[in-house]
Structure 1
């Protein structure tokens, strides 16, 4: 029995150490790899076409626009999915919860490029918001589903105890259910952010900017250094966003569940 307990403790401690090690190693790896590619791309003997894309001004501008798209998508997802998930866990709203989950499932199942193009054709918009809104719809499901699952997973004994000491329905929701559901909500947000970063490379189809501009330019003009730089920056940004999500989970998850 003693050996079993020690083995379980060792496994748990090892898992925590591995996670903390990854939290340290992931941003370092991103910085090293992206830095090496940027040094290579900016110091090589580029021709005139490559030089138009491989310069600090263009790279920073495209990366900044890509990040803005991701931030806008994250804000919309949180403002829509979390309150909607909270409402759909209320007893009176449960019958319509499958309808909203089905709509969100359709949004994620549909090809992202098709959604962006269809939104463009439907609205005749182009630019930043023409990319952000369909990408937000595409990224909505993980946060919505995890909000619902997280609240539903709270032990009924805890909510009953809250009501027993005089808490209102809103008090139980915000002081018991939401804090306990927070780890799952943050995990869903982390997934949504990574989806948003990847899908934002398609924003160039509707003049939305982002790192997809570099990737498209490198592919169409057969400029491999431009293509590699755009792809590595997009991957690096996705890994960095994933790391930020992991840090948020570690920082804001309930202490008692760690």
Structure 2
């Protein structure tokens, strides 16, 4: 996980919104107007994720899955949550692009882009299982900058930008390092991993059905590794 939950090396978005017309030798814009910076309000993103979570919970255990043309599942909750996220992010950050799993695709040429998965783990959500999440990632090109992943049914909120350590419910988290693998060690796995790989892990294998949950719990030290298949950028953008 790069700009989202694991790697923290420099401030997020302390750069101009638009490419400057001219630059000095260090890559900084020469005009005063071009020095105008933008800062992402992480509290706003947290509040937005929680509001999206309230919308999702209003549909939880009372909706059904339909299949899209690409053979992936969707519910009315997915659509309602993405509409909420798209509307608010468009209002708050009009210069940013938006890419969402359920169809949002705005300003492809924008330097910064929100990447959304309104409900990561749609099958688990529709089945009434608690591990599914709302994923909001911010990217500059292919580089992740910030992310919020919220699992409303268990009220776990993961937050990360480039300024400091990733957090779970406000507390810093870190991956497992330097520990031996034991029968109690856990890895997170895609539900169909046993059909693809010969997994001979001596510990325990868990499949929650949500890519972002798998990676976030790895980041929090709950598991050693997350294995996922059929992964799209919106599945993982918040956790990169």
TM interval, short-chain normalised: 0.3 to 0.5
Q: TM-score, normalised by structure 2?
A: 0.33
**Structure number with higher relative contact order (C-alpha < 8 Å, ≥ 6 residues apart):** 1
Give TM-score, length-normalised by structure 1. 0.32
Higher share in helix: 1
User: Which structure's CA Rg is the greater one?
Assistant: 1
Greater strand share, structure number? 2
